[in-house]
Copies of this chain bind each other. A is one copy, B any other.
Amino acid sequence: MKPSNTSTKSSALVADWEALQRIFIRPESDAAKEALLKYMEQILFGLHDFLQKNVGITEEISLKALSDNFTVTAISPHPEKKLADVITDLIKNIAPHAVNVASPYFIGHMTSAIPFFMVHLKTIVAALNQNVVKLETSKVVSIVEKQVLAKIHRLIYKKSLSFYDRHVQNTRTTLGAFVEGGTTANLTALWVARNTVFPPKEGFSGVEEEGLSAAYKAYGIERCVILVSRRGHYSLRKAGGILGIGNQNVIPIDVDAHHRIDLDCLKTEIDKINLTRNTRLIAVIGIAGTTETGSVDPLRQIGEICKENHTHFHVDAAWGGAVLLSDKYKHLLDGIELADSVTIDGHKQFYMPMSCGMIYLNNPEKMNVIAYHANYVNRPGSVDLGIKSLAGSREANSLILDSALKIMGSKGYALLLDHGIELARKLADEINRRASFELIMPPELNIIIYRLCPEKYHEVLSGEDSEQKKNINKKLNAINRIVQRIQREAGRSFVSRTTLNFDSTPENEIIVLRCALMNPMTDMNVLNDILDEQEEIYNTRFSPDSGSI
């Protein structure tokens, strides 16, 4: 981890201009090339073996011990080491302390294995170094981007062929946009929704120009709100904060037993808002795959409620969007086509490398409310994709998605997606079979939540005594927190934990274990290993002799 002191100081590398030009365009020597070639071949053609060999799943070294080695803050005037040595260092000293998110035993987060060819595609994108903010620095890549956006738009909205013919390469309309990730996609959607609610009118030039306070005055309101279930991703609250709406005005709606938005609660809240003269509803959000539970809100019903109430319907399908590629399971997202806007993450179930998000708009004119121009680029009427985009300079991730769709086909993706969903169901069965676990909810997509729950507590938990239940939940919270930590630190596997809240009382929160199953190499053997390990940790740590609880 420490800068190795054995490598020769090679100030010669930058001693003169010619040397610099050399290092700019090729390795400094044949020997250096040899060393690099060896690593790059491993990375490009044996990615999964490479990661297995070089990267720990997680590891026991403490954060403190690790970070003590990274405290030098001076930039060396001369090169610290040669390129090949820097890369060797990355591989020998940095990678082992990174996290092997590609391991079949790493099932705790939405970051997982990617197909090896994704690294090739990312390499090509980096080599071309196109900047999609403008046509002058991307040309055909901007055109490919519009095409792949249309492909995914069609997957979601299934409009007519003539619709797509009209819009696929139309420089004035926008079917969607590539963004940094789901957070930016959600922010963009709500930015569009906000601006749509406060357009210019007599004596008011619009919220984007005059700001939110002026908009409230012009439209005679004092507050606007966004509704989303308690399981909404925190980026939605963040978007409320950034956009000046206030994150407390992103109002959490209670969920049902499947962690889907409770439609009655939603309707009650909307009725309340409609009765409050000074409050304006900006958007209702449906979630297609909540981060914590994988639940899918009843999208069709929410869509209909939004239509009745003339409000923007946004679907956060960052996680679940890709399921539209599966003929077998796309019905789980029924009603998504009613959405005014949809968030999808490329780096989640499209298996793209970090990081790539997308936002799609039902109405291709909708993004006009966030258009910006600059004198040196992005002139009105040009095809420059930066005109309607939160970001400025931006890499060409569309080339990766476009290529991946060609390499895999929707059926290739479907195999991956179906595997995850079906594996989650099998895991649920296994958890139900094991007496020391409790399945919190039958999985809908490929996320599953459960907890360690010794058999002796089952009865009370299914009973009526809420005080007693609270006490047991408190004990179970402690158990699950500890087991999860010990398992993570042991470094053989990784399951995450989350805290589910059901109302605003912290004492009703429960801590659960959480798996996101998207790695095709993860199977029931792996999952049984992981459950066994959890039981073993529990038995060792909480045996009657240990006296812990």
Contacts and interface: CB of A to CB of B under 8 A. Distances in A.
Nearest to A50: B127
Given A44-B123, A216-B213, A353-B395, A180 B169 contact: no
A457 interface: no
Q: How many copies does the complex hold?
A: 2
B98 A140 contact: yes
B90 A376 contact: no
Contact of A99 (B21, B40, B139, B143): B139
B181 A127 contact: no
A409 interface: yes
A477 interface: no
Nearest to A234: B374
A279 to B, nearest CB: 12
A124 interface: yes
25 contacts: A13-B412, A14-B415, A24-B48, A24-B113, A25-B48, A25-B115, A26-B48, A27-B116, A44-B123, A63-B135, A73-B168, A75-B152, A81-B406, A87-B124, A90-B121, A95-B128, A111-B130, A129-B354, A136-B496, A209-B246, A209-B248, A210-B248, A213-B222, A243-B244, A376-B499
A333 to B, nearest CB: 16
A435 interface: no
A105 B279 CA distance: 57
A459 to B, nearest CB: 28
Interface in A194-245: 205, 207-214, 216, 222-223, 233-235, 237-238, 240-245
B101 A409 contact: no
Contact of A244 (B205, B235, B245): B245
Contacts of A395: 353-355
A155 B21 CA distance: 25
**Closest 9 A/B residue pairs (Cβ):** A244-B244, A211-B246, A97-B140, A354-B395, A212-B244, A376-B498, A183-B392, A14-B412, A122-B126
* Max chain B C-beta neighbours (<10 A), residue from A45, A392, A394: A392
A411 interface: yes
A449 to B, nearest CB: 10
A72 interface: yes
A129 to B, nearest CB: 5
A118 interface: yes
B137 A375 contact: no
- Which size class do A's interface residues fall under? 35 or more
Contacts of A265: none
Interface in A10-25: 11, 13-14, 17, 20-21, 23-25
A249 interface: yes
A114 interface: yes
Given A123-B43, A147-B71, A109 B129 contact: no
B409 A80 contact: yes
Given A116-B24, A241-B209, A498-B375, A140 B36 contact: no
Contacts of A210: 246, 248-249
